[in-house]
Amino acid sequence: MRTEILVMLSVLMMGAVVVGAAEAPRPFTARDMHAMQRLSNPQPSPDGRRLVYVERTTDFAANKGRNDLWLIDLDGSNPTRLTSDVASDTEPRWAPDGKGLYFLSTRSGSSQVWWMPIPGTDKDAVQVTHLPLDVSNLLVAPDGSHLAFSLEVFPDCPTLACTVERLAAAEKRGTSARVYDGGFYRHWDTWSDGRRNHLFVAPLTGTKAGEPVDLVPGMLADVPSRPFGGAEEWAFSPDSKTLVFAARLAGIKNREEPWSTNLDLYEVAVDGRGAPRNLTADNRATDTQPVFSPDGKTLAYLKMRRPGFEADRYWIALRDVASGDERILASTWDRSSDGVVFSPDGKTIYTTAFDIGQVPLFAIDVATGAVRKVVAEGSVHDIRVAGDRLVFGLDHLRSPVELHTVKPDGTGLKQITAVNRERLAGLLLGEPEQFSFQGAGGDTVWGWVVKPVNFDPSKKYPIAFLIHGGPQGSFHNEFHYRWNPQTYAGAGYASIFIDFHGSLGYGQDFTDAIRRDWGGKPLEDLQKGMAAALQRYPWLDGDRACALGASYGGYMVAWIASQWADGFRCLVNHDGTFDQRMMYYGTEEIWFPEWEHGGPYWENADHFERQNPVRFVDRWKTPMLVIHGGLDYRIPDNQGIGAFNALQRRGIPSRFVHFPDENHWVLKPGNSIFWHETVLGWLDQWLKDAPARPAP
């Protein structure tokens, strides 16, 4: 069995650090992480010669990010800033004639559609919509005749004015009470006020939009879905006459959403005449992200097969628009697609998927289903076709996203932006290396090690053992903005992270293996992964290690506290599950614990309790830092409070950090920097400042 691996990326892919002569480089910090410019949403011009993209800058004084639009030639020349307003400008969309750009901006005080000529600047921008509600998720019809976007409205309101009036009345009623009969009364980080995302279209004449029409009037569904759905969940037909969109109906009496993953695809006329038609009613699992082929004859979309499972494999389905017949593309390819992009001739589909610690760019032949890698290493995002090349974002463990182009055959890979070059030039970064070992059941399991900065192989280094969430997730070759191993490397720690059973990118059976076994095979993989890393890298100090994790990773930290109690000197538990019983009854997406643990709690209590950390608190002895967000409704903060209370009552050194304004993630720059300083201080206390552990 193959047990070693390694893959040092090329200078181009790794973004080699260039040290300026004037100032010696310094170690990477959390503030440096937030100071990086974040690039997203590349949009090629209709002629394929230019590219507009979004660049996010962190405003440390305002404690948030701000987005601006930039234009660049496809060869990387002539980068030009288009917007510099203090407001955020996002979601650029080219007019079909290539002479102007539609985008969303908050510069008027609310999020509205704006337009500017190309070339142009802020002074040339014109407001296109003047609606009383915020506009989100913008698309432009291929013929330029309509805009499509979403608005939050009360589903039973026939007009936008009705929604506005109802919101105003709620402000005046003299009580803060909320009343719910079911459904997602709270979701992710928000309590519902009864409004839904609805899909609207507005006729467009140049820079003027007409009255918007709700294409899903009365529908008890969010279009796009909450909390993370966007414009990728709908598509115009090439003739601009219809829209296909994804939606999950709330079900009988608005109650079933929390335990349903059944998104269906609906077709509706752009003029709003006629009710939406369900195209995928036969599939009770997720159908989403529709994309038409260039000739309009085929509708491609992503399809799951198992109801109630959010991490099932995404298959690529191809539907004949005329007949409704469907086939699965590349059915033997054991990877889960993350989206569909057609080549201009419709003969190839481009996609990304997790794959052995990377997120490559793949090309799939539509006729045969043959799959090949176009870009193999790093994490690829936002694929677009631009003339005779592909353009995309690419990041990895030593660089944030920069835009690249490549020929469809995989040759001619070229980086066309370098917005973070100077920032990286002044920083010391840890060197990553991938490795493999024999894990649970004899399966090959993969992981990464990132060396500390100023690495000296003759020394021993303490370990930050990072455990990913999901659990169907991955710590892979990417530049993460919450769990970035470079923040530990800069503080003098080596990082180890293992893609245990349940992780993405190793086949669906490997992903499925965690179901009903949260504390079994994954724990074995982590233990064997630590042992394999210590054997392979003699500079790792296994006696000075701390385990850190969030979400499922936080669950695993609480599980490690009793099941691997001598493995670590300290633990960090962020937004982790402590009590599986209350997690079931307190979370919002009930489908998740029901799938993971085999049904509702009252039908399967024995299984929920078998690997429930709260049952084994009597074995806890390792110092633990507990962190939780007050707006976390995925894993409510009473889980963190319960873990901290248990630690305190048992007299175990512990600390609780609560962020009342953060959800399942820590997003505000100031809070994130505080988080990192607190976590690294905890590691320093137990791994650097503490006396040597006595021999057993």
As a whole number, mean pLDDT of residues 293-318 equals 98
- pLDDT, one tens digit per residue, over 373-384 is 999 999 999 999
As a whole number, mean pLDDT of residues 543-563 equals 98
Active site residue 632: yes
Active site residue 551: yes
As a whole number, mean pLDDT of residues 188-216 equals 97
Residue 251 has what pLDDT? 84
As a whole number, mean pLDDT of residues 657-675 equals 98
Q: Which residues of 219-254 are buried (b: 16+ CB within 10 A; e: fewer)?
A: bbbbbbbbbebebbbbbbbbebebbbbbbbbbbeeb
Give the DSSP H or E segment for 383.
strand 379-386
Q: How confident is the model at residue 356 (pLDDT cuts 50, 70, 90)?
A: very high
Query: Which residue among the candidates 146, 607, 664, 676 is catalytic per the annotation?
Result: 664
Residue 18 has what pLDDT? 38
Q: Provide the token pair at 135.
A: 């506009």
Alpha helices in 23-177 (DSSP H): 30-35, 160-171
Tell me: pLDDT of 4 over 60.
no
- pLDDT, one tens digit per residue, over 439-459 is 999 999 999 999 999 999 999
As a whole number, mean pLDDT of residues 27-37 equals 98
As a whole number, mean pLDDT of residues 87-107 equals 97
Q: How confident is the model at residue 64 (pLDDT cuts 50, 70, 90)?
A: very high
Tell me: pLDDT of 3 over 80.
no
Q: How confident is the model at residue 156 (pLDDT cuts 50, 70, 90)?
A: very high
Q: How confident is the model at residue 9 (pLDDT cuts 50, 70, 90)?
A: very low
As a whole number, mean pLDDT of residues 639-656 equals 98
Tell me: pLDDT of 692 over 80.
no
| Spatial contact of 307 and 284, defined as CB atoms under 8 Å apart | yes
> Percentage of the chain surpassing pLDDT 90?
94
Q: What is the average pLDDT value for the chain, to the nearest integer?
A: 95
Q: How confident is the model at residue 668 (pLDDT cuts 50, 70, 90)?
A: very high
Q: Provide the token pair at 538.
A: 């003699």
Query: Which residue among the candidates 336, 551, 654, 672 is catalytic per the annotation?
Result: 551
Query: Which residue among the candidates 503, 632, 672, 676 is catalytic per the annotation?
Result: 632
> What's the CA gap between 473 and 511, in Å, rounded?
9
Residue 690 has what pLDDT? 57
User: Using CB atoms within 10 A of its CB, is residue 415 exposed (0-12), middle (13-18) or buried (19+)?
Assistant: middle
Residue 691 has what pLDDT? 54
Residue 518 has what pLDDT? 98
Active site residue 509: no
Which region among 22-26, 65-69, 150-154, 163-167 has the lowest average model confidence (pLDDT)?
A: 22-26
> What's the CA gap between 498 and 481, in Å, rounded?
18
Tell me: pLDDT of 667 over 50.
yes
**Class of 424-688 per CATH?**
alpha beta
Q: How confident is the model at residue 207 (pLDDT cuts 50, 70, 90)?
A: very high
- pLDDT, one tens digit per residue, over 478-521 is 999 999 999 999 999 999 999 999 999 999 999 999 999 999 99
Q: How confident is the model at residue 17 (pLDDT cuts 50, 70, 90)?
A: very low
As a whole number, mean pLDDT of residues 11-21 equals 37
Model confidence, pTM: 0.94
Q: Provide the token pair at 9.
A: 């990326």
Place of tokens 């820590």: 666
Residue 253 has what pLDDT? 77
Q: How far is CA 674 from the centre of its chain?
A: 22
> What's the CA gap between 436 and 440, in Å, rounded?
13
Diameter of the chain measured on Cα atoms: 78
Residue 252 has what pLDDT? 78
Residue 22 has what pLDDT? 56
As a whole number, mean pLDDT of residues 286-294 equals 98
Q: Looking at the DSSP assignment, which residues form a beta bridge with residue 101?
A: 94, 116
